Amino acid sequence: DADVTQTPRNRITKTGKRIMLECSQTKGHDRMYWYRQDPGLGLQLIYYSFDVKDINKGEISDGYSVSRQAQAKFSLSLESAIPNQTALYFCATSDARTGTDTQYFGPGTRLTVL
Amino acid sequence: QKEVEQDPGPLSVPEGAIVSLNCTYSNSAFQYFMWYRQYSRKGPELLMYTYSSGNKEDGRFTAQVDKSSKYISLFIRDSQPSDSATYLCAMSLISSGSARQLTFGSGTQLTVLP
C-alpha cells in the first residue's frame, strides 16, 4: 500500500463548483502539505499543517481552504472552482523528529476546471 | 526574478552519457538543498539531500553545492533509460521549531535514449 494516498486521482469539474481533494498517510508523520504544480512553474505551496491544530497559509492560498481532520488526513477544498485552478495537486508529508523535514509526496490529483 | 532558476530543458542524451542538471538561486539564506525525481504521472520522490558546500555521492548520482556562487548541480553518471524523468531542485532556509518550507525549481525534463 502507498504511504501517501490522494483521492480522486483525476477530476473534471465546472466553474463555480465546490470540490474537495483528500490526502491520507500511513507514515505517521505530523506535518502535511498541499502543493500545486503547473507546467514551467514547479511546485507552489498552498497550505501546510504542523499538527491537527495548526494550519498555515503557503504562497498561493487564495481561493483554497484546508482541513486537518486527523493526524493522517489533510483535505484541500476549492470553494468555487475557476479555470486557472486547473493543475496537478500534490499532498506531501514530513516528520519533524528527523530534523531534516524531508517531504514525501503522494501520486497527485489532476484537476481540470471547465 | 524567481528565487530558484532551473533550466527547463528538455534535455535528451544517449545512454551512458554523463548528465549535468543545474539550479541557481538568489537567496543566500538557503541552507538545505535537495533533488527530487518525478516520473510521468507520479509524485516527486527525494533523490538526494545535502546541507553543505561540496559534493555528495550516492551511486551514479552526485550532488554538488557551491554556496559562494549560489549554484547547485546534480550529475548522473552512466545514464540509463530508467533515469528519464523530470528533475526538480528544491531548497529551504534554516528555521528553528518550524517546518522548512521548500522552494522548488521549475524542473528539467530528461530523456535518456537507449
- Spell out which residues of chain A touch residue B45, defining contact as CB-CB under 8 Å: 104-105
Residue B12, Cα to own-chain centre: how many angstroms?
17
Kindly determine whether residue A43 and residue B98, on different chains, have CB atoms separated by under 8 Å. Answer: no
- pLDDT at res. B100: 61
Distance, in Å, from the CA atom of B66 to the CA atom of B53, rounded to the nearest integer, reads: 5
Kindly determine whether residue B42 and residue A108, on different chains, have CB atoms separated by under 8 Å. Answer: yes
DSSP state of B16: T
Kindly determine whether residue B46 and residue A103, on different chains, have CB atoms separated by under 8 Å. Answer: yes
Average pLDDT score, chain A: 92
- pLDDT at res. A18: 96
> In chain A, what percentage of residues exceed pLDDT 70?
96
Nearest to A45 among B34, B36, B101 (CB): B101
- pLDDT at res. B94: 64
- pLDDT at res. B7: 83
Cell of A39: 507546467
Nearest to A50 among B32, B46, B99 (CB): B99
- pLDDT at res. B101: 75
H, E, C per residue of B48-71: EEECCCEEEEECCEEEEEECCCCE
Res B98 pLDDT > 90: no
Strands of chain A (E only): list them. Answer: 4-7, 10-13, 19-25, 31-38, 42-49, 56-57, 65-70, 73-78, 87-94, 104-105, 109-113
Kindly determine whether residue B99 and residue A107, on different chains, have CB atoms separated by under 8 Å. Answer: no
Q: Which residue in chain A is spatially nearest to B34 when comparing CA positions?
A: A102
pLDDT of A35-69, one tens digit each?
999 987 789 999 999 889 999 999 899 999 999 99
- pLDDT at res. A2: 66
Mean pLDDT: which of B19-23, B37-41, B94-98 is highest? B19-23
Mean pLDDT score, B43-47: 93
